[in-house]
Amino acid sequence: NGTSAIEVKKTGTDNNTINLEAGSRVLGLVHVDAAATNTTLNLKGMQGSLLLKVEAGSQNEGDHFTLNVKDGADVTLEDGQKSTIDVANITNGTLTASLKNPDDNTILELSLEEQGTFNLKEKNSTLIDGVIIAHNATWNLNGGRLAVAGQTWTGNFRVGTNPSKSENKGTGTLNVSAGGYTFADMSVRNTGTVKVAGGELTVYALDISKSGTVTVGTDAQTNAVSGTLRVNGALTIASAGTSGRLTLNNGTFETVASNVYKAATEGEDPFVLTDAWGKVAFGQNADVDLVLNDVGEYDLAAYQAVQNLLGDNKSKVNLVLNGTIKPAENATIGQMVGNAAANNTISVGETKEGTVTATLTGDVGVGALGVDAGTTTVKFTDINTLSLAGQNGTVLSQNVETLEVAGTLALGILSTDTATVNAETVKAGTLEVNGDFAAQAVQVTSSLDVAEEAQFVADTITLGANAGGEIHGYLEADTVAREVSSGASFKVKSLLSETAFDVYGTTSFNKNGVAMTYKSGSYYQLKSGANGEAPVVSAAQTIEVG
């Protein structure tokens, strides 16, 4: 029939835990005293409403009150109790609450995981007719569903406030760490902070006030975390300050071109930066895909002019213009610059006796390689990087026997690129996979690297004697062979669960800290179960093949 009430008082309650499981009911009030310390309430499958009153904690360190929603719980907090919840973790289930009035509920830190839903009873800001994070709250959106009145929220969003002498509603912080979220107009006020690292945030318009900040990705030399921020409408950054209001560290920033540059009215340069873009900063170790939409027609000179506007940050940016390029007549890939032709098929050149050979003048990215009929072999003899995004599902205009790149072959200009490498054999000095790609036979001399969230599927992969590399995304291959050597280690951080992974000709093998050795020239097939199941390796584990 249910418990009548629960009272957590100040004495003898440190680290007290209350579990309300499926079938549980509390008929009366659940009350947590201000002097109680480190109380945790676990909603483990509970269904229904809950009258919860949590007094604002008096302890200086630690979390006074933690609410965990798990095991498919679906609970609605009743209004009017003025509860202060230090931490709410919605892992698996739904929590419904009103945050419009502090007399109802205040959640200081909200973490919304992939299988969780946080449902606001109503919009909590009449000023913007939307959702606001204020009162010193932090929301961590980690892939779960954010809803208002039961519907996924895609309307206006405000982070932080503009304090005045008469009113201060505190700070607001939004962290997008997984999943994808789409809102209409987003305003980041003076006390607002937005960080996108590990997830995707898409807004129509972004308005950053004079001391609000927005950051994409983390700034680190190694193991940087990428994020994606899309602004489909206007980008406005208040006039105070010159840079650092929007900081791009790692990942993708996609917006309309008019937010970045405009036609110059004087001087020799065709374009100038917009006022807003002049306040954008790049991290010291930045590696950013800058994707500009609504470009219209452009030529190589226009692409280079936009590149040059980036100044000292040019080397930190992978620039893609979504428009229609007008290359010179009979232009070949040797004349391309940057990613000017990222959405186009560009001729490699004239084929002679089945082979076409080309040299790049620098790092170049194109949609696909155009080859003549009868071409069997495509060769790039320089050490630059050739990036292929894919066009109509493939990276060459027709099938060939061999694609050979002496330098670096990058499959995917952007992480969203996907295609099949329609060459029977791919040979590369270094192979980088940045999107979702498939190939047949692959030979790598120096390094094979698969980026985080990227996927590479191949029939066979043969590594050179001293080849190394790291797989941060997903790798699927029938066999992975190495020429006999005690060369560099090859680290696999994640494999698809259905993958069988054969390692040939190595001298040592390490799985989860357990080393195995065998004779050079022999092979070991990794099997994780007694019945020969394919390996399952989490991101926290490392397989070293050396």
**Given pLDDT bands bounded at 50, 70 and 90, which one contains residue 243?**
low
Range list of H helices, 165-240: none
Are 403 and 525 found together in one domain? yes
pLDDT at 485: 46
Rounded Cα distance, 65 and 87, in Å: 7
Query: Mean per-residue pLDDT for 101-113?
Result: 93
As for how many domains the chain has, the answer is 2
pLDDT at 509: 37
Query: Mean per-residue pLDDT for 53-79?
Result: 90
Look at residue 537 and tell me whether its pLDDT is greater than 50: no
Kindly report the pTM of this predicted structure.
0.87
Among 222, 249, 276, the domain-final residue is 249
For residue 337, give its domain range: 329-545
Are 15 and 135 found together in one domain? yes
List the single range of 80-84, 179-183, 537-541 with lowest mean pLDDT: 537-541
Name 501's bridge partners: 526
Are 243 and 346 found together in one domain? no
Query: Mean per-residue pLDDT for 520-524?
Result: 34
Are 367 and 493 found together in one domain? yes
Are 31 and 135 found together in one domain? yes
List the single range of 203-212, 315-324, 441-450, 513-522 with lowest mean pLDDT: 513-522
Question: How does pLDDT run across 433-481, given as a tens digit for each residue?
Answer: 999 999 999 999 999 998 888 999 999 988 887 887 887 888 888 777 7
Task: Name which residue leads in pLDDT, 168 or 259.
Answer: 259
Instruction: Tell whether 409 is covered by a domain.
Output: yes
Instruction: Tell whether 175 is covered by a domain.
Output: yes
- The mean pLDDT value of the chain amounts to 87
Instruction: At 381, give phi and psi (nearest 5°).
Output: -95, -10
Sequence-ordered list of residues with C-beta below 8 angstroms from that of 60, at least 6 positions apart, any chain: none
In the block, tokens 């020429």 appear at 483
Rounded Cα distance, 535 and 528, in Å: 5
Among 249, 280, 311, the domain-final residue is 249
Look at residue 503 and tell me whether its pLDDT is greater than 70: no
pLDDT at 488: 44
Look at residue 505 and tell me whether its pLDDT is greater than 50: no
Are 234 and 352 found together in one domain? no
Question: How does pLDDT run across 366-407, given as a tens digit for each residue?
Answer: 999 999 999 999 999 999 999 999 999 999 999 999 999 999
pLDDT at 244: 62
**Given pLDDT bands bounded at 50, 70 and 90, which one contains residue 520?**
very low
Of residues 31, 28, 23, 33, the one with CA closest to residue 3 = 28
**Given pLDDT bands bounded at 50, 70 and 90, which one contains residue 529?**
very low
List the single range of 212-221, 320-329, 461-470 with lowest mean pLDDT: 461-470
**Percent share of the chain, pLDDT over 90:** 71
Instruction: Tell whether 305 is covered by a domain.
Output: no
pLDDT at 472: 80
Question: How does pLDDT run across 400-436, given as a tens digit for each residue?
Answer: 999 999 999 999 999 999 999 999 999 999 999 999 9
Question: How does pLDDT run across 340-350, given as a tens digit for each residue?
Answer: 999 999 999 99
Instruction: Tell whether 301 is covered by a domain.
Output: no
Of residues 313, 311, 262, 321, the one with CA closest to residue 290 = 321
Cβ-based neighbour number of residue 261 at 10 Å? 20
Are 108 and 216 found together in one domain? yes
Instruction: Tell whether 140 is covered by a domain.
Output: yes
Question: How does pLDDT run across 11-41, given as a tens digit for each residue?
Answer: 666 788 999 999 999 989 999 998 888 999 9
Among 249, 278, 301, the domain-final residue is 249
**Given pLDDT bands bounded at 50, 70 and 90, which one contains residue 10?**
confident
pLDDT at 329: 83
Look at residue 336 and tell me whether its pLDDT is greater than 70: yes
Look at residue 49 and tell me whether its pLDDT is greater than 70: yes
Are 335 and 238 found together in one domain? no
Look at residue 515 and tell me whether its pLDDT is greater than 70: no
Rounded Cα distance, 346 and 72, in Å: 53
Look at residue 239 and tell me whether its pLDDT is greater than 90: no
**Given pLDDT bands bounded at 50, 70 and 90, which one contains residue 522?**
very low
Sequence-ordered list of residues with C-beta below 8 angstroms from that of 235, at least 6 positions apart, any chain: 205, 206, 246, 255, 259, 274, 276, 277
Q: Counting Cβ atoms within 10 Å, is residue 165 exposed (0-12), middle (13-18) or buried (19+)?
A: exposed
105: tokens are 């509920």
Are 238 and 334 found together in one domain? no
Look at residue 277 and tell me whether its pLDDT is greater than 80: yes
Q: Please report, as a single letter, which amino acid is at residue 352.
A: K
pLDDT at 527: 36
Instruction: Tell whether 314 is covered by a domain.
Output: no
Range list of H helices, 250-365: 300-309
Instruction: Tell whether 294 is covered by a domain.
Output: no
Are 55 and 184 found together in one domain? yes
Instruction: Tell whether 97 is covered by a domain.
Output: yes
Are 411 and 507 found together in one domain? yes
**Percent share of the chain, pLDDT over 70:** 86
Are 239 and 373 found together in one domain? no
